[in-house]
Amino acid sequence: MIDVNDQESAIRSLMSSGGYQFPVVLDPTGAAAGLYGLKAVPTLVVVNSLGSVTKFHVGGISSADLSALVDDAAR
């Protein structure tokens, strides 16, 4: 997950409260977001362990759907 323009403490709190354990890239300047062509927030880009984008989702997403996307990318 790329987190754009948020404080590290805020994303750590979100990850902890949601029980999420996947990697998050902090992007305080928006540089990484630009490389992926993000046009709106929230946008979810799931990248697998090989570095391939497996899902590009614009808009909100439920915890269950997010977990499913991450699980699929881990396979």
Give pLDDT, residue 25: 84
Give pLDDT, residue 13: 93
Q: What is the CATH number of domain 2-74?
A: 3.40.30.10
Q: What mean pLDDT value characterizes the chain?
A: 86
Rounded CA-CA distance 37/65 in Å is 22
Question: 11: how many CB neighbours lie within 10 A of its CB?
Answer: 15
Confidence of residue 47 (pLDDT cuts 50, 70, 90): confident
Give pLDDT, residue 46: 83
pTM: 0.60
Q: What is the pLDDT of residues 27-46, one digit of tens each?
A: 888 898 888 888 888 888 88
